[in-house]
Every structure is written in structure tokens, then in C-alpha cells.
A and B are shown apart, each in its own frame.
Chain A
Amino acid sequence: MSNDILILAEHLNGKLADITNEMAGQARQLAGALGGQAVAVLLGSGAQALAESIGSDRVLYIDDPALAEFNPEAYARVLAAVVAQRQPRVVMLANSSVGMDLAAGLAVTTGLPLIAYVNALSAEDGRIVATSQIYGGKILAEAVPAGEACLVTCLAGAFRPEAGRAAAAVERIASPAPLDGLKVQFVRLIEPEAGDVDITQQALLVSIGRGIGGAENIELAQELAEALGTVVSASRPVTDAGWLPKTRQVGKSGLTVKPKVYLAFGISGAPEHLEGMRGAELIVAVNTDPKAPIFDVAHYGATCDILDLLPALTERVKSDT
């Protein structure tokens, strides 16, 4: 086994995902401590320029037409072959739509342990220690893999990105695994439909979560937003339930917003939601649960019932303006 840290580079629509260089930064630190190198693996086709933009020590660029778009089966085959050949200490994948499809399957094929939802990763006396955010962000668990090597999936925003480095040496190779006879076929990308409003352009957002209780209460948030001259955004359960259109969703699989003020009403603050709004200038959270993780990122908070607060605030705004 080597002491190298392998990173799966992630890219979509010709753009490198931010988390790739976040992982590269962390991998370089860890590799430094272990006496190895941070090696990014980029799977693609005609993606040499992307490979050159990664801040790792080295980049392994695997070029094949079958890798032009993300395909979980093709990626899994290639990664398993790379890991078998290179025997890294740690394989870092993003805890993203891509990484989540691959990591656990790779754990089975390589026999390596997987620690998911990692937001801190270090070496202690040569042993890997990873901290995971579990139970919707309410609990942290510090784990050590049974053997020397392991796989981890990393949370977006957990590590400082590697910036301003000279391009790493890119080694371009053909796929080390056969890519024919795939049972998963990529068909096309489907761009999101434009919504009636663009929540990313608002200076103020009234954002509601499952705490709103039901479709019949959405009105309370709409009335407040109207009085404030803005719009309502939401967490995933609200859009999944069809209470608001998908275009209003903030978070990992929704939109990233950076308003001046984000009012989070009845939102628990799961890591996937925080990913989309932690960049807001000021966050105010109202949630009946004083232990809700949203209070860890909010600047101001209150524990009242939003079904009382929403009408009270609407009243107040109307009487003030």
C-alpha cells in the first residue's frame, strides 16, 4: 500500500465542481502528514484542461468516450481498477449525487471500509481519523477504520479549497477497465425549468421548512413575503410535497442563495439545506426545537411557533410600512 490520498475529481457540464479543490487541499495536508502524495483522478473525455485545473500533487486523467458523461457503472469499474493498482491509503469522494452512487459499491468491491458524511479528516500517529456529521447534523461521530486504508465521502464546504497553485503534473492514460456491455446508459442532461421568480436574486428570503405543517399554511408565508416585497423559498420536503414549486428549493439539490437576510422558519438545518444558504449575510432562524442544527449557523434565533410568528410579523411589517 502507498501513503497516497486519491481524490475523485467531479465535473459536470464542462465545469469542475468546487468540492474537488476542497478535497485536494485537504488531501495535500493529509498526504503531507503521511508521507504520500495527493493524487486526483479525473474521468472524462476531452477534459485535459479540467485535469490541469486541479490543485493536487498529481492528476491521473483517464480519457475514454464512455466517460464523457457521469455514468455510475463506468465510473465504478474504472475506480475499482485504479484503487486496486495504486493501493492508496485514503480515497476521497464528494458526498454528492456522484460520490453517493459510487462510494459504497466501491467499498464492497475493494473490501475497504467507508466513512460517509465526513467534515474533518486527519492522521493521528499514522492512523486515519474521520468525523462524520450524522443524524441530520445533530451529532458528530469520530471514527477510525479497522484497517490501514479507507474510503471517505466528504461534505461540500467542509474543507478550505486549494487555491493559487501551479497546475499539477497530468498523467493521461486509457481506461484501465473495459467499458463495454454497460447496463447503465446515459441518455441526456435535462436543464431545470425557469421558475416564475428567481430566488437567487433576492436580497431577502422568507424560507419555510416542514415546520409549516401543511399546504394550507403556505399562505401565511406568502402574505409575509408579499408585505416584505420578496418571495418564499423552501427546504426540500416542502417542494417534494408539492406545496411550492421546485424552483423555490434551497440546498444541495436545489439552488444556492446568498441574500442579505435569510429568514429560516421551521427548517431544521440539515447539512443538505445548509449547503445552499450558509453564505447568506445574516441568518435568522425560528424553530420550536432549541437543539435544531440551524441555530449553529444562524446569527439570531427564536423558539416560537412559526404559525404564530408568521402572522405576527406580517402584522408588524404592515403597520410599520
Chain B
Amino acid sequence: MILAVAIKQVPNLTDDLEISADGTGLDYDALTYVLNEFDEQALEEAVLVKEAAGGSVTVVGIDTTGELDGALHTALAKGADRAMKVTGDFDRDLGSEGQAQLLAEAIRPLAADLLLTGVQAADDRDGQIGPRLAALLGWPYVGVVTHVTPEPGCVRVHKEYAGGLLAEFVVTLPAVIGVQASHQPPRYAPVSKIRQIAKTAQIESVAGQGTPASSSSVRRMFKPEAAGQAEMWAGEPEEVAGKIATLLTAKGLLKL
């Protein structure tokens, strides 16, 4: 089975996110990037499917940060066979339409049977790329998936609803699946192995062609006003523990 996985780097959400001077975006220069967590899950599921059914895994991303190589090397260390990046002079605010089009053009020639994406990326306009890619490629899409089992000509998937309820679907290939979680926790790649791969790996570059403009524009970005609603307790852990204990006692949850 020919598998492809689309991966994306997103701002590290534990960083301070600062709004840009014009108030319509983030101050991107101040950000550090990490691999989108659901893409890590999608990659793991792809490698598990490959291990079960044979075939190959190609990871592909748009290099909007100039730092994608590290994520691609890590993916190779975890079991991907090929790594590709779409390069060009892209805006960091490149909209979902543009990203989906660039990716579709890069992925089409792979003649993949199965494309896995993360269910969403924790940045702007969430969760659009998987279904958009499916529509552009003319393939079916099922998202919020936690288990992919390969079968001849199709995959059997588990899709999550609220409260742990699952639905099972059989999806004819080629298809796009949006992965929420892999059915085994993602494997770990030792740093030494990633370093080794970084020295020898060939990352294929695809030049991205012009992209369509975004069909909606952000006119203002701001931080939630409710911020700081909580009454904050300062002090050492022991003091905070004391405050929590007092509160639990008041609520009748701690019997003295």
C-alpha cells in the first residue's frame, strides 16, 4: 500500500503568542515551532498500517517556516521511507485554500492509496486541509479516526464521537483519513538516529506554484478578554496546597 502523510509545524502553544503590530496576525518571528501533535499520531498510524500491509510511507509538508527538515528527518527515523517538502516564497498566513492546493499538487503524482492527515492543526482555520485535499483529489474523507485497519482495496476505520462512542466505516481506496489518535501511542525515535538520518537523508523538494487568495480575511486578532478571571494564589507549593485544602474543607470534600 502506498501511504502518504501530510505534516505541519505549528507554533508551540506554551510560548507567549504575541499579536503582530497591525493586529491581524501573530508576531511570527517570536514563535518556536513544533510538529502538530495529531500529525505525529497520523504518522504512527501510517507506519503501523505499513507494518501490517507492506508498502511505503511518504511524508510531505509545505515548508512555510524554513525549518521543516527537522520534522521530516524525525519522521524518517520513525519509519517513513520518503520525505518531500513543498518550497516557495510563501506567506506564513497562507490560507487553507492555498495550502490544500499546494499539497494536492505535490501528492497527486505519488499515486497514493491512502493519505493520512492530522484531524486538525492547532493553529489557524482548524481542520480544513484533510477534507479539502479529499475534495480536490476526488477521494472520500473520514476524520476523527483512531484506528485504521488495511484490507484489500479498502480500509476499516474507527471514528470517534463524544463520550467514547465509536462508529466503524469501511472506506474504498484511494481515500483521505483524518487521524485523531494512532491505535498505539507514537513510537519514540532516538536523537542519535535522527542525527544519523539528517546526515544522509535526501529530502525531495517540489516547487510550489501560485496559490489562490484566502477567501476570508482576519480583520482583528486579540486575546480573550476573560483572561485572568481566576483569582490567582501566589506562593510556594506548600502554601498553595494549604489554600486548596482549605477550599476542599469548605466544600465539605475534606473531612478534618
Contact = CB atoms under 8 A, between A and B. Distances in A.
B21 interface: no
Given A97-B159, A139-B221, A315-B241, A116 B127 contact: yes
Contacts of A150: 216
Contact of A282 (B16, B214, B218, B247): B247
Interface string B40-83: 01000000000000000000000000000000000000000000
B218 A138 contact: no
Given A184-B169, A312-B238, A203 B136 contact: no
Interface residues of B, number: 93
B163 A192 contact: yes
Interface in B150-173: 156, 158-172
Contacts of A139: 17, 19, 26, 221-223
Contacts of A71: 169
B229 A102 contact: no
B132 A135 contact: no
B253 interface: yes
Contacts of B218: 141-143
Interface stretch (B1-9, B84-92, B137-145, B193-201): B137-145
A291 to B, nearest CB: 7
Main secondary structure of the interface of B (DSSP, over half): mixed
Given A142-B220, A309-B237, A316-B245, A114 B96 contact: yes
Chain B CB within 10 Å, residue with most, of A70, A113, A204, A268:
A113
B226 interface: yes
Nearest to B16: A291
A7 B210 CA distance: 34
A240 interface: yes
Interface in A179-204: 183-193, 203-204
Interface residues of A, number: 104
A53 interface: no
Contact of B254 (A190, A302, A321): A321
A103 interface: yes
A302 B142 contact: no
Nearest to B130: A104
A108 to B, nearest CB: 4
Nearest to A182: B140
A100 B142 contact: no
Contacts of A193: 164
A98 B142 CA distance: 10
Contact of B240 (A112, A144, A304): A304
Interface string B239-256: 011111101110101111
A256 B163 contact: yes
B125 to A, nearest CB: 6
B255 A253 contact: no
B114 interface: no
Given A134-B124, A190-B158, A317-B254, 10 more contacts: A104-B130, A108-B100, A183-B140, A204-B253, A246-B164, A284-B247, A289-B14, A313-B245, A317-B248, A321-B254
27 contacts: A13-B165, A97-B143, A97-B162, A101-B142, A108-B131, A108-B135, A108-B136, A113-B215, A133-B224, A138-B223, A138-B224, A139-B19, A142-B221, A143-B218, A188-B167, A192-B165, A228-B253, A236-B181, A240-B41, A253-B160, A255-B164, A296-B230, A300-B247, A303-B232, A304-B237, A312-B240, A313-B237
Interface of A: 12-13, 69-73, 95-98, 100-105, 107-109, 112-117, 132-147, 150, 153, 183-193, 203-204, 228, 236-237, 240-242, 246-247, 249, 252-256, 260-261, 263, 268, 270, 282, 284-286, 289-291, 293, 295-305, 308-309, 312-313, 315-317, 320-321
